[in-house]
């Protein structure tokens, strides 16, 4: 043995002794020999649940995580929605409800490991699958590919996010055991290996060589062909309906050895406006979960708690079908964090395979019925246009999209004049299906109809040449899955009147949330002689009301649900917090979850509604109602369910 080798051996022995004296440093890896994970040198299996911090008010993070821990989970899985943190290029927000580091610290404090899914694309039934809509500033950008502009934006974002995550990796003393790269990439048409290779290198460069990086795909060989990549551990996802043996055989196609992992075991399923509420039986979930745990698989339950799509954050599927505000998902913890029968069924299964913590489970939070709140009509959107349009109007010959107008979410008002006399009903149409996604049409301030993407492409108008034509266009949420994710909003193609394209538009980007927050909306003008609408519609208008939390009742404020009897479709805020969209006329969701954290005992609580189709205050129905019971499953008959969307068509 040479002196050099001897020195090396002595040095290594010294290092070993040093490490032993300090205790082993934390480690987490894939054990290919024993088909498992390995944590601090020991074989390890995770039983995890998905929770999206972006769908739960921060005040409730601890409660939900604790309930997950008490169910016997040893890990949680979360997505990081890029568009939630970088709403405009280079302006990052990690404060308040967006405090991702705060969320990770809380998980660690409670004793939960973390499976992090930072995207860049996340699907998740989230607007544009988490990609920022401003990427569409390059009109023909190929998202989720090697498109240089897309890559440049991804590099910049990951250059911000991943260094922030690095200290939270398990081997650095944090709780993140694995990090997913992209998401179900094998289901995307592009199949761009250079893109996946680029991401793989980027993640390694920022996070180091040690962290376990992984991919997730549908449990079919065809998905894994484009979704998996050398150096990224391939996992699969499937629900209780799947053949478990066959599903894991698909994973074995990409990973002949290593732990079996179902990264998304579906405890429930998503909803769409106008389709039936999805439910999955506890028995089916329990049976399948038990089978997977019995064969030693690692499982993440998607979702363990779904939460809510507050504001405008819901996504949509293609052909266009938007998801509602509630993301309850029929998960074991309800939208409001309530313990369900499914929660206990899952806990009983976990108990057969691993230790479940003793001690009390945090109880279901009490709900309070604050009762009926009388509402009062304020200005219409047309009355308030100047107030709502902070940047002033933009004029152009042909209509521009939300992206052209630099607006992400909400509503844009498009205005022009009727160029000809329409004494007979004349079709106002979007021949190329360019209403993205719903438009409220009025002529001389009288509501004349509603246009809707894929559903209603034409409405008749009458009026004199020179009459004012207003089209208020609502962005109902961007497509989050498949090849149609370049989902431009607004009027994305020309609108015709009879045979001619309408021109000379004046467009108003509306800052409705800011106006609501700052109390800028005025009262209805007193002497109004609105012409009756020929079609039983009212022009979009604001309404307000307020309620106080009763005195002398302990533990108020409590959570509640709001419903809007007699209202049809719109948006609702409480104390300036955008609770989301309501659309009881279409269902299945009827009530919206109102977390206690947005309510005040110090001042009256202010309810603002933007109703798009009717005026309940012209009758006796002008109230909103706070109740203790959620209704997410009101039957709807007029629209066929998107059967195709209820399964991922595996294998
Ligand atoms: C794998 O497990 C076997 C026993 O099942 C054990 O003898 C062996 O040491 C394990 N391998 C590793 C690499 O830990
Ligand atoms: C499940 O898949 C396996 C493997 O492909 C097959 O042998 C088995 O028959 C399937 N079971 C059922 C119930 O279809
Ligand atoms: C519209 O009709 C009025 C009479 O009702 C007529 O004076 C006017 O010239 C017509 N305008 C156009 C643009 O045809
Ligand atoms: C528009 O009016 C024409 C003529 O009255 C009628 O045939 C047609 O059905 C109407 N279209 C719509 C969409 O109401
Ligand atoms: C509207 O039509 C004009 C003329 O054909 C065309 O140049 C323009 O691109 C169209 N605009 C949209 C938004 O489709
Ligand atoms: C509701 O609005 C009133 C009047 O603008 C204001 O005084 C009050 O503070 C608001 N309530 C809350 C909880 O912000
Ligand atoms: C909706 O859910 C409630 C509570 O689970 C249930 O009692 C009711 O039968 C359901 N209604 C429909 C139409 O499915």
In a domain, 359, yes or no: no
Nearest CA to ligand 2 atom 2: 246
For residue 429, give the CATH number of its domain.
2.60.120.260
Do 440 and 552 sit in the same domain of this protein? no
Read off the pLDDT of residues 611-632 as tens digits, 9 standing for 90 and up: 999 999 998 779 999 999 999 9
Q: What is the mean pLDDT of residues 597-617?
A: 97
Whole-angstrom distance, CA of residue 3 vs CA of residue 80: 52
Residue 584 to residue 565: CA distance in whole angstroms: 8
Average pLDDT over residues 577-585: 98
- The answer to whether position 584 is within a domain reads yes
User: Which residue, among 447, 617, 618, has the nearest Cα to 534 in the 3D structure?
Assistant: 447
3-state secondary structure of 7: helix
Q: Which atom of ligand 6 is nearest to the CA of 606?
A: 1
Shared-domain flag, residues 501 and 557: no
Three-class SS of residue 117?
Answer: strand
Question: For residue 633, how far is its CA from the centre of ligand 7 (angstroms)?
Answer: 6
263 within some domain: yes
Do residues 316 and 414 both lie within one domain?
no
Of residues 304, 272, 360, the one with CA closest to residue 53:
304
Contacts of 407 (CB under 8 A, 6+ apart): 509
Domain count, the chain: 3
pLDDT at 641 over 90: no
pLDDT in tens, 67-83: 999 999 999 999 999 99
Regarding whether 421 and 282 lie in a shared domain, the answer is no
The verdict on 570 and 504 lying in the same domain is no
> What is the Å distance from ligand 5's center to 493 Cα?
7
Task: Indicate whether 374 belongs to any domain.
Answer: yes
- Any idea which residues carry the catalytic annotation? 184, 264
What is the position in ligand 4's atom list of the atom closest to the CA of 456? 13
DSSP output for 141-173: --TTTT-HHHHHHHHHHHHHHHHHHGGGBGGGT
Q: Which residues line ligand 4 (CB under 6 A)?
A: 425, 427, 458-460
In this prediction, residues 337-344 reach a mean pLDDT of 98
Alpha carbon of 603 to ligand 6 centroid (Å): 6
* Rounded average pLDDT over 359-378: 97
Protein residue with least CA distance to atom 2, ligand 3: 421
Please indicate, yes or no, whether residues 408 and 329 belong to a single structural domain of this protein. Answer: no
Say if residues 637 and 267 touch (Cβ distance below 8 Å). no
pLDDT digits (tens, 9 = 90+) for 247-296: 999 999 999 999 999 999 999 999 999 999 999 999 999 999 999 999 99
The pLDDT mean for the chain works out to 94
Residues near 21 by beta carbon (within 8 Å), at least 6 away in sequence: none
Q: Return the best residue to mutate from 405, 429, 473, 501 for the ligand 5 pocket (most ligand atoms within 8 A of CB).
A: 501
Mean pLDDT across the stretch 460-487? 98
Residue 572, domain extent: 367-379+537-650
Same domain, 296 and 423: no
Residues 289, 310 within the same domain: yes
Residues 280 and 331 in one domain: yes
Mind listing the pLDDT tens digit for each residue in 5-33? 656 666 666 655 555 555 679 999 999 99
| 465 pocket-lining for ligand 3 (C-beta < 6 Å) | yes
Q: Is residue 361 a part of any domain in this protein?
A: no
Q: Is the pLDDT of residue 149 over 90?
A: yes
Which ligand does the CA of 220 lie closest to? 2
For residue 211, what is the domain's CATH number? 3.20.20.80
| Banded model confidence at residue 511, pLDDT cuts 50, 70, 90 | very high
Tell whether 375 and 413 lie within a shared domain.
no
Residue 241 maps to a domain: yes
CA–CA gap between residue 271 and residue 581 (Å, rounded): 14
70 part of a folded domain? yes
Q: Nearest residue CA, atom 5 of ligand 1?
A: 34
What is the mean pLDDT of the segment spanning 375-394?
A: 96
Q: How far is the CA of 246 from the centre of ligand 2 (A)?
A: 6
Which of 30, 32, 34 most suits a substitution to test ligand 1, by most atoms within 8 Å of the C-beta?
34
**Model's pTM, two decimal places?**
0.94
Establish whether residue 420 lines the binding site of ligand 3, counting it when its CB lies within 6 angstroms of any ligand atom: yes
Whole-number pLDDT of residue 72? 98
Domain's final residue, options 494, 510, 526: 510
515-545: per-residue pLDDT in tens?
999 999 999 887 665 666 677 899 999 999 9
Could you tell me if 467 and 552 lie in one domain? no
Residue 82 lies in a domain: yes
Residue 241 Cβ inside 6 Å of ligand 2? The answer reads no
Give residue 644's pLDDT. Answer: 40
Instruction: Please indicate, yes or no, whether residues 464 and 548 belong to a single structural domain of this protein.
Output: no
Q: Which atom of ligand 6 is nearest to the CA of 600?
A: 13
Share of the chain above pLDDT 90, in %: 90
C-beta of 33 in contact with ligand 1 (< 6 A): yes
pLDDT of res. 24: 76
pLDDT at 649 over 90: no
From the list 48, 459, 84, the residue with the least C-alpha distance to 262 is 48
């Amino acid at each position: 043995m040479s002196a050099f080798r001897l020195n090396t051996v002595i040095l290594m022995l010294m290092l070993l002794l040093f490490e032993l004296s300090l205790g082993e440093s934390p480690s987490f890896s894939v054990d290919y020999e024993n088909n498992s994970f390995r944590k601090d040198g020991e074989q390890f299996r995770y039983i995890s649940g998905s929770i999206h911090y972006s769908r739960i008010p921060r005040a409730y993070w601890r409660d939900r995580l604790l309930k997950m821990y008490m169910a016997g989970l040893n890990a949680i899985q979360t997505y990081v929605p890029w568009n939630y943190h970088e709403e405009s290029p280079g302006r990052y927000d990690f404060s308040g409800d967006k405090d991702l580091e705060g969320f990770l610290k809380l998980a660690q404090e409670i004793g939960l490991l973390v499976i992090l899914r930072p995207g860049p694309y996340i699907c998740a039934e989230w607007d544009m699958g988490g990609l920022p809509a401003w990427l569409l500033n390059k009109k023909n950008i190929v998202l989720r590919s090697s498109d240089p502009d897309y890559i440049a934006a991804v590099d910049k974002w990951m250059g911000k996010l991943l260094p922030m995550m690095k200290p939270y990796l398990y081997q650095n003393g944090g709780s993140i055991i694995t990090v997913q790269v992209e998401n179900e990439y094998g289901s995307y048409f592009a199949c761009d290996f250079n893109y996946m290779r680029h991401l793989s290198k980027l993640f390694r460069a920022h996070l180091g060589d040690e962290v376990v990086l992984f991919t997730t795909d549908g449990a079919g060989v065809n998905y894994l062909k484009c979704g998996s990549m050398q150096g990224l551990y391939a996992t699969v996802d499937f629900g209780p309906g799947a053949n478990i043996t066959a599903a894991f055989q698909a994973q074995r196609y990409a990973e002949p050895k290593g732990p079996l992992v179902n990264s998304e075991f579906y405890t429930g399923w998503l909803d769409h406006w106008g389709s039936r509420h999805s439910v999955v039986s506890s028995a089916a979930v329990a049976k399948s979960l038990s089978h997977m745990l019995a064969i030693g698989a690692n499982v993440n339950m998607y979702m363990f708690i779904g939460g809510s799509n507050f504001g405008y954050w819901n996504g949509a599927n293609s052909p266009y079908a938007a998801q509602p505000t509630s993301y309850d998902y029929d998960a074991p913890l309800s939208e409001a964090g309530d313990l369900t029968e499914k929660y206990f069924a899952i806990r009983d299964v976990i108990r057969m395979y691993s230790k479940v913590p003793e001690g009390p489970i945090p109880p279901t939070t009490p709900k309070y019925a604050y009762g009926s709140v009388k509402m009062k009509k304020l200005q219409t959107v047309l009355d308030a246009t100047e107030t709502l349009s902070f940047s002033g109007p933009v004029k152009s010959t042909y209509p521009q999209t939300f992206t052209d107008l630099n607006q992400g979410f909400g509503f844009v008002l498009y205005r022009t004049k009727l160029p000809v006399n329409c004494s007979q009903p004349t079709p106002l149409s979007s021949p190329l299906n360019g209403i993205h996604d719903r438009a409220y049409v009025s002529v001389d301030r009288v509501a004349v109809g509603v246009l809707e993407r894929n559903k209603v492409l034409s409405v008749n108008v009458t009026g004199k040449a020179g009459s004012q034509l207003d089209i208020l266009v609502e962005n109902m949420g961007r497509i989050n899955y498949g090849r149609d994710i370049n989902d431009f909003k607004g009027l994305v193609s020309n609108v015709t009147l009879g045979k001619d394209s309408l021109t000379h538009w004046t467009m108003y980007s509306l800052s409705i949330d800011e106006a609501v927050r700052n109390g800028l909306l005025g009262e209805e003008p007193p002497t109004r002689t609105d012409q009756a609408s020929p079609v039983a519609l009212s022009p979009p208008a604001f309404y307000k009301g307020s309620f106080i939390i009763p005195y002398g009742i302990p533990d108020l404020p409590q959570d509640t649900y709001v419903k809007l009897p007699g209202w049809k479709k719109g948006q609702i805020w409480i104390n300036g917090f955008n609770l989301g969209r309501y659309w009881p006329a279409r269902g299945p969701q009827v009530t919206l979850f109102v977390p206690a954290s947005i309510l005040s005992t110090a001042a009256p609580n202010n309810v603002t509604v933007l109703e798009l189709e009717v005026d309940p205050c012209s009758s006796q129905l002008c109230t909103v109602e706070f109740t203790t019971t959620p209704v997410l499953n009101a039957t709807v008959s007029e629209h066929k369910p998107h059967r195709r969307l209820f399964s991922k068509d595996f294998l």
